[in-house]
Amino acid sequence: MTRAEIFSGICGFTTTVEAVMDGRRRVHLTIESECEAVQHLAAELTQVDPFQEVTFKGAGPLTLRLAAQYLLHAACPVPAGIIKAVEVAAGLALPADVTIKMSEDEHGALSN
C-alpha cells in the first residue's frame, strides 16, 4: 500500500490517499479529506488504471477529468498527489516527496 498525505496550503485542508495495486492492473483508492469538494471526488474515484493515470494520451487521467468536475480551484495539489500515489502503488515510480514552495518579496512579487 502507498500512502500520500497532501497539505493543500492556504485552504488548510489535508487529504490522505491510500493506493493499493491489485493483480488485475487496477489501483484501488481510499481518499479521506477535510475538503467537501475532495470528498465528492473521492466518492467517485475509487479505482483507476495506473497506465491511463500517468499519461495525457487518449482520454487522459480519470483523476484530472473528475477533478475538473468536482474541484473548484485549478491549483489544488490533491489531483497531482493522487496520481503520484497511483504511480508508486503500481511500481511506475519510486516513492519520493514532492514540494512546491511559495514566497513573495517585500513588493508582493514572487521571488525565485
Please write the tens of the pLDDT for every residue from 63-90: 999 999 999 999 999 999 999 999 999 9
Non-local CB neighbours of 61 within 8 Å, separated by 6+ positions: 48, 52, 53, 54, 55, 79, 83
Please write the tens of the pLDDT for every residue from 10-29: 899 999 999 999 987 999 99
**What pTM does this model have?**
0.91
Domain ranges in the chain? 2-89
Fold that domain 2-89 belongs to in CATH:
Sufe protein. Chain: A (3.90.1010)
| DSSP 8-state assignment for residue 104 | B
Q: CA torsion sign, 12 to 8 to 38 to 72? A: positive
Residue 98 dihedral angles phi and psi, to the nearest 5°: -115, 150
